[in-house]
Protein backbone atom coordinates (compact mmCIF):
# COMPACT_ATOMS: atom_id res chain seq x y z
CA UNK A 1 0.00 0.00 0.00
CA UNK A 2 1.34 3.41 -0.96
CA UNK A 3 1.27 6.10 1.68
CA UNK A 4 -0.77 9.20 0.82
CA UNK A 5 0.18 12.63 2.17
CA UNK A 6 -1.95 15.70 1.47
CA UNK A 7 -0.82 19.27 2.13
CA UNK A 8 -3.63 21.77 2.56
CA UNK A 9 -3.36 25.54 2.50
CA UNK A 10 -5.67 28.45 1.85
CA UNK A 11 -5.71 28.00 -1.92
CA UNK A 12 -3.66 24.88 -2.55
CA UNK A 13 -1.04 26.79 -4.52
CA UNK A 14 1.63 27.85 -2.06
CA UNK A 15 2.28 24.25 -1.03
CA UNK A 16 3.04 22.99 -4.55
CA UNK A 17 6.79 23.73 -4.38
CA UNK A 18 7.00 22.02 -0.99
CA UNK A 19 5.19 19.00 -2.44
CA UNK A 20 7.86 18.71 -5.14
CA UNK A 21 10.65 18.93 -2.57
CA UNK A 22 8.95 16.26 -0.45
CA UNK A 23 8.61 14.01 -3.52
CA UNK A 24 12.35 14.46 -4.20
CA UNK A 25 13.13 13.55 -0.57
CA UNK A 26 10.93 10.44 -0.79
CA UNK A 27 12.59 9.41 -4.04
CA UNK A 28 16.03 9.77 -2.42
CA UNK A 29 14.87 7.38 0.32
CA UNK A 30 13.43 4.95 -2.23
CA UNK A 31 9.93 5.43 -0.84
CA UNK A 32 6.68 5.16 -2.77
CA UNK A 33 4.55 8.00 -1.48
CA UNK A 34 1.71 9.94 -3.05
CA UNK A 35 2.10 13.59 -2.08
CA UNK A 36 -0.33 16.26 -3.24
CA UNK A 37 -1.61 19.71 -2.37
CA UNK A 38 -5.12 21.05 -2.16
CA UNK A 39 -7.15 23.93 -0.77
CA UNK A 40 -8.36 23.35 2.79
CA UNK A 41 -11.95 23.57 1.53
CA UNK A 42 -11.48 20.48 -0.65
CA UNK A 43 -10.21 18.15 2.08
CA UNK A 44 -13.74 16.79 2.73
CA UNK A 45 -13.83 15.23 -0.74
CA UNK A 46 -10.37 13.67 -0.39
CA UNK A 47 -10.17 12.56 3.26
CA UNK A 48 -10.96 8.88 2.56
CA UNK A 49 -7.77 8.54 0.52
CA UNK A 50 -5.40 10.41 2.85
CA UNK A 51 -3.10 8.84 5.45
CA UNK A 52 -1.48 12.10 6.57
CA UNK A 53 -2.91 15.61 6.33
CA UNK A 54 -0.44 18.45 6.75
CA UNK A 55 -1.75 21.98 7.10
CA UNK A 56 0.16 24.99 5.86
CA UNK A 57 0.98 27.49 8.63
CA UNK A 58 -1.58 29.95 7.25
CA UNK A 59 -4.39 27.49 8.03
CA UNK A 60 -2.76 25.93 11.09
CA UNK A 61 -5.45 27.49 13.27
CA UNK A 62 -7.81 24.86 11.80
CA UNK A 63 -5.80 21.87 13.10
CA UNK A 64 -7.97 21.13 16.15
CA UNK A 65 -11.23 21.49 14.24
CA UNK A 66 -9.91 19.18 11.50
CA UNK A 67 -8.88 16.61 14.13
CA UNK A 68 -12.40 16.67 15.58
CA UNK A 69 -14.09 16.66 12.19
CA UNK A 70 -12.06 13.71 10.89
CA UNK A 71 -11.77 11.75 14.13
CA UNK A 72 -13.60 8.84 12.47
CA UNK A 73 -10.95 8.57 9.77
CA UNK A 74 -7.55 6.93 10.23
CA UNK A 75 -5.70 10.11 9.26
CA UNK A 76 -2.82 11.82 11.09
CA UNK A 77 -3.15 15.61 11.09
CA UNK A 78 -0.53 18.26 11.91
CA UNK A 79 0.51 21.77 10.98
CA UNK A 80 3.78 22.27 9.11
CA UNK A 81 6.18 24.39 11.20
CA UNK A 82 6.50 27.91 9.76
CA UNK A 83 10.29 27.71 9.51
CA UNK A 84 10.23 24.43 7.53
CA UNK A 85 7.44 25.76 5.32
CA UNK A 86 9.21 29.05 4.64
CA UNK A 87 12.46 27.29 3.79
CA UNK A 88 10.61 24.67 1.70
CA UNK A 89 12.44 21.97 3.66
CA UNK A 90 10.93 18.92 1.98
CA UNK A 91 13.20 16.45 3.79
CA UNK A 92 12.22 17.73 7.25
CA UNK A 93 8.50 18.00 6.46
CA UNK A 94 8.51 14.45 5.05
CA UNK A 95 10.36 13.17 8.13
CA UNK A 96 7.88 14.94 10.42
CA UNK A 97 4.96 13.47 8.46
CA UNK A 98 6.34 9.94 8.74
CA UNK A 99 6.90 10.43 12.47
CA UNK A 100 3.17 11.16 12.86
CA UNK A 101 2.45 7.55 11.92
CA UNK A 102 4.69 6.31 14.72
CA UNK A 103 2.88 8.21 17.48
Q: What residues are labeled active site? A: 9
Dihedral, CA of residue 5, residue 21, residue 85 and residue 80, to nearest 10: 20
Query: Could you give the C-alpha distances from 38 to 5, 30, 68, 73, 84, in angstroms and in order?
Result: 11, 25, 20, 18, 18
Q: Three-class SS of residue 69?
A: helix
Amino acid sequence: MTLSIMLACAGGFSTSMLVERMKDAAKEKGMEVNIDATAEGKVDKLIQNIDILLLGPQVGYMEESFKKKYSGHPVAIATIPSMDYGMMNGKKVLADALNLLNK
